[in-house]
Structure 1
Amino acid sequence: MKTPYIRHTFGEEVAKKLRSRRGWLTAGVASSISWPSFDVCIEYAGDEYFLRGSELDGKASPPCITIACGGDKDVDVAIGKVYRFTSILSWFAGGYVDVSGYLWGSHPMLYGSRTVYSSMGIAGPKSFNCNHMPVIEDENVRKALAFWREGRRLDEVHDSYAFLSFYKVIESQFRDGRRRGKWITDHIDQLTDRAGERVAELRSAGIDVSEHLFESGRCAVAHASLDGEIVDPDIPADRKRLSADLVIIEELARIYIRDELKVPDSRSQYRTRDRLVPWDEILNADIRTVLRSGGTPEDVSALNGLTVAIGIWPDGPIVGLDRMTMHVDAVENGVIRILLVNERQTVLLVFWLDYRSGRVHTSLEEGGLLYGEDKPDENDVRAYATFFFKVFGNGIAELTCGDFEPIDCEVVIPVNMMMTMSVEEAIEARVEQFRKEQVPMGSAESTVLEPPKSDN
């Protein structure tokens, strides 16, 4: 399943994109995920989705998703894309994003009503992140995620229909009801916590759980007859039974999507994604195999001399660090230590490519300004201070080489150190210090920037 780099655009550039054409569809959404405070453009699967922020001109604004739509004939296509986008976003973000209504017009209007809301709170100005969200190309997976999104939304509204939606996640994947029942039976014992406790409770009463979920759950919700079992909305016991069983079918649906359809969510994606895969073409397959097995290949010289841009997600390359030359410093046990030096050889950055774990690390303790034939100038100071303090402030450093997708570093967690002013204030303080003193901030031997202390 493809999990590509997804470009996120924030700020004035988003407004420019929204002014660049006529013809837009906007869907108002009910959301339980943390919604962006300001507009953000998400480039996903060939389309641009504009998540309209919760704040506009200092006032509250309804959460919406806007997409280009040429005219009335294209409305169904456009809203269909939004439905599919909200399905995978719901799964990936661990909540729900469900369309409450939509409108079309020449301008990107907002859609607001009492059914348009975000219940989980607001993400910071640039903290919304669905990078590497999987692209859904299989029709069966699409259906399962649609029913999952529907179930998560109904979970807070109507237990009976939520149960039916979660059951359809599994039911939609089987032509044969007996195979579906066998899958449920085979996986019931995997359930833990509240779902496992409910299974044990039913079994202690002598109930076949798989049959119970079908007859007293799925069929009782979907059908009504004079003699058959139904979920009667006026009978408290029926409501309590469905509410108690809901946790079982929801967890089974989650297991099916996760294990059978193998759709990662943001947490599993963070744990398992190999950050170095985008650079696989640089080294041949035999060398990569040795590295990923924890070995020490004899030759990784293909990395030497490559031009790399260093940036901070989602802002892109840092001015002054956008043409760094790579040098291999050491290779051992599947880990490559690389040095990146700018064109004037006045800035040094150090990174570790850990092929064993598929991780990239930056070393703030070892990088810094270099004093050789050329001396660092104010632009170098600003570039290095931007990198240092944004990474120190938990920013995600990215390395971009040629046309390959950027590879991202692990977040740096400072130990026994803290920022006493904002990142931007710290950068400006270092630049101002350089202007006043014109003294070295660091050297190849001693290059560590200390977090500035507040004057208060």
Structure 2
Amino acid sequence: MRTPYIPHTFGDVVQRKLRSRSGWLSAGVASSIPWPSLDVCVEYAGDEYFLRGTQREGQPSAPGIAIACDQSSSGADAAIAKIYRFTSILSWFEGGYVDVSGYMWGSHPALYGGRSVYSSMGIAGAKSFNCNHMPIIEDENIRKALAFWREGKRLDEVHDSYAFLSFYKVIESQFKDGRSRGRWIAANVDKVTDRAAKRVAELRAEGVEVASHLFESGRCAVAHASLEGDIVDPDFPADRRRLSADLVIIEDLARIYIRDELGVPDARTLYRTRDRLAPWDSLLPASTLDVLRRGDGTGIDLSGLDGRYVSVGLWPDGPIPGLERMTVHVDAFDQGIVKLVMINKRKTILLVFFLDYKSGRIHTNLEDGGLFSGEHEPDETDVRAYSTFFYKVFGNGIAELRCGDLEPVDCEIVIPVNMMMRKSPDEAIADAVEAFRRDRAKQSGE
């Protein structure tokens, strides 16, 4: 499943994009994931989705999503369908729900308000919203499963009966007949964990066959009502308690199906499994990549890295001015780890990175980099560039390396040990530049 780099745009550029055309569909959403405080544009699967922030000119604002739209009913249908699909994968990826409460379309992007539009989990910081590498959903069956999942998560703790039915449909929608579905549930019910596993044990202690119970006393009892058949009676506390207790099982089974059978990663799974170095695979021979990923350090050709130009930046802002064209030098390699030294054209800034091919990670080495004097002395641009890189990364910023037209590779967040930054990164950068100016003025005076 493709999990490509997803550009996120913040700040004034977003407002210019919103003013750049006529024709928009604006949807209000109810969300249980931290919603961005300010507007952000997310480029996903060929479209730009504008997540409208919860703060506007210092005042609370309704969360929403806007997308470009032809001003016609057919155009509106196509646009809201895209938002539905986007909210389905966003709900799964972020581990909550984002549900459309209503929408409207017109010449300008609008804010859709109302009591059903809210963010129950508070807000993310000005630039902290991040759904980068969210999976691209191209299979129709997966799309349906994620739609039912989104629906179930929205109804969870709101209406247990309909939440149960939605989670059941995640699985039911993937099978042509009930026997195959029942066999899958029976084969996977022992994979559930925590509260769901406890409930399975309780049912088995009562002599209940769990797969049949979930179908007959859950799915059918919710979906149907007859004089003779089992139903979930809204007026019977025992029925409500039974369904609420069983809900955790079917939710966990739905999660297992999407994760394991359909292979859709969420943010946490992707963090553990994504190979950060994969975008640079084309730079090295396949035989070298095989050796590096085995953790070996002999018989490899790293010439494809040596001499490359790499732009060093920070997510989501892009290249740092002054670090846009760093020359790569392979310094050392051992057991699948390659040490790269990157130097700017004036040879006044040196940065060090470790490419760990065995684990698919790239690490920043702040201790060995720095400003250097030689043929040229560092100038104010150099000081600002290096200080921006150092203090932003030290403050848990995500460093990104871009090589030509290849997808950026992102470095692991630096966790300082026995070190503390007493000022914000921006204050520390300003202090470094000011100290350089004072030192330069002092030298001039002497």
Q: What is the TM-score with the length of structure 2 in the denominator?
A: 0.98
CA deviation vs aligned residue, 1:276-325 (integer Å, no higher than 9, x gap): 00000000111100000111133211111100000010000000000000
Q: Which amino acid aligns with 2:185?
A: I
1:438 shift after superposition: 2.9
Question: 2:353 matched to which residue of 1?
Answer: 351
1:70 shift after superposition: 1.4
What does 1:83-232 align with in structure 2 at a 5 Å threshold?
83-232=84-233
CA deviation vs aligned residue, 1:361-417 (integer Å, no higher than 9, x gap): 010000001111111000000000000000000000000000000000000000111
Q: Which amino acid aligns with 2:67?
A: I
1:303 is paired with a residue whose SS is coil
What does 1:361-380 align with in structure 2 at a 5 Å threshold?
361-380=363-382
Distance in 1 separating the partners of 2:233 and 2:21: 52
Does structure 1 residue 427 correspond to structure 2 residue 437? Answer: no
1:186 is paired with a residue whose SS is helix
Distance in 1 separating the partners of 2:53 and 2:405: 31
Q: Which amino acid aligns with 2:100?
A: V
1:4 shift after superposition: 0.2
Change over 3 Å in CA distance of 1:207–1:379 after alignment to 2 = same
1:212 is paired with a residue whose SS is helix
Does structure 1 residue 315 correspond to structure 2 residue 352? Answer: no
Question: 1:447 matched to which residue of 2?
Answer: none
Question: 1:23 matched to which residue of 2?
Answer: 23
1:156 shift after superposition: 2.4
Distance in 2 separating the partners of 1:298 and 1:115: 59
Percent of residue pairs bearing the same amino acid type: 70
Q: Is the 8 A contact 2:348 2:377 kept in 1?
A: yes
Q: Is the 8 A contact 2:284 2:301 kept in 1?
A: no
Change over 3 Å in CA distance of 1:234–1:65 after alignment to 2 = same
1:39 shift after superposition: 0.1
Question: 2:240 matched to which residue of 1?
Answer: 239
Q: Which amino acid aligns with 2:187?
A: D
CA deviation vs aligned residue, 1:409-451 (integer Å, no higher than 9, x gap): 00000011112111111000000000001399xxxxxxxxxxx
CA deviation vs aligned residue, 1:198-245 (integer Å, no higher than 9, x gap): 011111111111100000000000000000000010111111110000
Question: 2:82 matched to which residue of 1?
Answer: 81
Does structure 1 residue 257 correspond to structure 2 residue 283? Answer: no
Question: 2:54 matched to which residue of 1?
Answer: 54
CA deviation vs aligned residue, 1:58-117 (integer Å, no higher than 9, x gap): 110000000000111300000000000000000000000000000001000000110000
CA deviation vs aligned residue, 1:177-201 (integer Å, no higher than 9, x gap): 1010000000111122100110111
Unmatched segments (≥5 aa) in structure 1:
441-456
Q: Is the 8 A contact 2:285 2:301 kept in 1?
A: no
Distance in 2 separating the partners of 1:38 and 1:331: 43
1:416 is paired with a residue whose SS is coil
Distance in 2 separating the partners of 1:189 and 1:350: 47
2:216 is paired with a residue whose SS is helix
Q: Is the 8 A contact 2:10 2:39 kept in 1?
A: yes
Q: Which amino acid aligns with 1:258?
A: R
Question: 1:449 matched to which residue of 2?
Answer: none
Q: Which amino acid aligns with 1:202?
A: L
Question: 2:5 matched to which residue of 1?
Answer: 5
Distance in 2 separating the partners of 1:233 and 1:169: 24
1:287 is paired with a residue whose SS is helix
Q: Which amino acid aligns with 2:90?
A: L
Q: Which amino acid aligns with 1:130?
A: C
Distance in 2 separating the partners of 1:191 and 1:17: 45
1:367 is paired with a residue whose SS is strand
Distance in 1 separating the partners of 2:104 and 2:237: 40
**Number of equivalenced pairs:** 440
Deviant stretches of 4+, over 4 Å: none
What does 1:330-409 align with in structure 2 at a 5 Å threshold?
330-409=332-411
Question: 1:70 matched to which residue of 2?
Answer: 70
Report the RMSD for the aligned CA atoms in angstroms: 1.0
2:304 is paired with a residue whose SS is helix
Q: Is the 8 A contact 2:62 2:113 kept in 1?
A: yes
Question: 2:32 matched to which residue of 1?
Answer: 32
Distance in 2 separating the partners of 1:162 and 1:261: 21
Change over 3 Å in CA distance of 1:439–1:148 after alignment to 2 = farther
Q: Which amino acid aligns with 2:124?
A: A
Question: 1:276 matched to which residue of 2?
Answer: 277
Unmatched segments (≥5 aa) in structure 2:
none
Q: Is the 8 A contact 2:287 2:300 kept in 1?
A: no
